[in-house]
Amino acid sequence: MSVSVTTRVVKIGNSRGIRIPKPLLDRLGLVEEVELTVEGDQLIIRPIRRPRDGWDEQFELMAKRGDDRLLDAEAPSLTHWDAEEWEWL
């Protein structure tokens, strides 16, 4: 669904800015920082997506479902090489 809003470019100090209506901010999840991109004659404003956004919630959901178990078998304890050949510097 496309939404179109007309707004004015306003002076902000030595710069210019636009006021974005709250319903649009809420719909797009624009909070503090945004990414601005120019494509052709369009200015595109996107919310900043952090690489690990939502991971905490997903880990909690995994724990509730029991999906947080280790997939690999437990590694054996020290081997002969670990105990006698390995040298820590």
Domain boundaries along the sequence of the chain: 7-68
46 in Cβ contact with 37 (< 8 Å): yes
pTM metric for this prediction: 0.51
44: left (phi over 0), alpha (psi -120 to 50) or beta: beta
Residues 14-28: pLDDT tens digits? 999 999 999 899 888
User: What does each of the 89 residues of the chain score in pLDDT, given as a tens digit?
Assistant: 678 889 999 999 999 999 999 989 988 888 888 999 999 999 999 888 878 888 999 999 999 999 888 888 777 777 877 777 777 77
Give the Cα-Cα-Cα angle 32, 35, 40 (nearest 5 degrees): 145
**Residues belonging to the chain:** 89
Cα–Cα distance between 39 and 4 in angstroms, integer?
18
Write down the CATH number for the domain with range 7-68. 2.10.260.10
The per-residue pLDDT for 45 is 92
